Amino acid sequence: MATPIIKTWTYNVINGSLTIDESFGLRKLSVILISGTGTYSGDLQAGNLQSQPLDLIVGVAITIGDWQTILDGITLTTTGVIQIIGR
């Protein structure tokens, strides 16, 4: 039986934004705000409610996603630096 291989993608968002869609092929993200201000927002609408950005906190990591689903419609925005590890 072959050993599973997990590859990672790393990226720094610096004074700007990045939208992750299904073309990235990512299933899980770990995100940490290093400096400045930052937000996370999705593009899913639940009933009549549009998604609203959520504030990231400097030094507090969040993990988004699961192994079964490819992530789509996630926007990270910062006035500083956000570090991302994707799988």
Q: Residue 18 — pLDDT band, cuts 50, 70, 90?
A: very high
Q: Is the pTM of this model over 0.95?
A: no
5 inside domain: no
**Chain centroid to CA 14:** 14
Report how many domains make up the chain.
Answer: 1
Of all residues in the chain, the percent with pLDDT exceeding 70 is 100
In a domain, 1, yes or no: no
| Mean pLDDT across the chain | 93
CATH of the domain at 33: 2.60.120.10
Q: What is the pLDDT of residue 48?
A: 87
- Burial category of 68 from C-beta neighbours within 10 Å (exposed 0-12, middle 13-18, buried 19 and up): exposed
Question: What mean pLDDT do residues 16-41 have?
Answer: 96
Domain with 29 in it: 11-86
In this prediction, residue 26 has a pLDDT band, given cuts at 50, 70 and 90, of very high
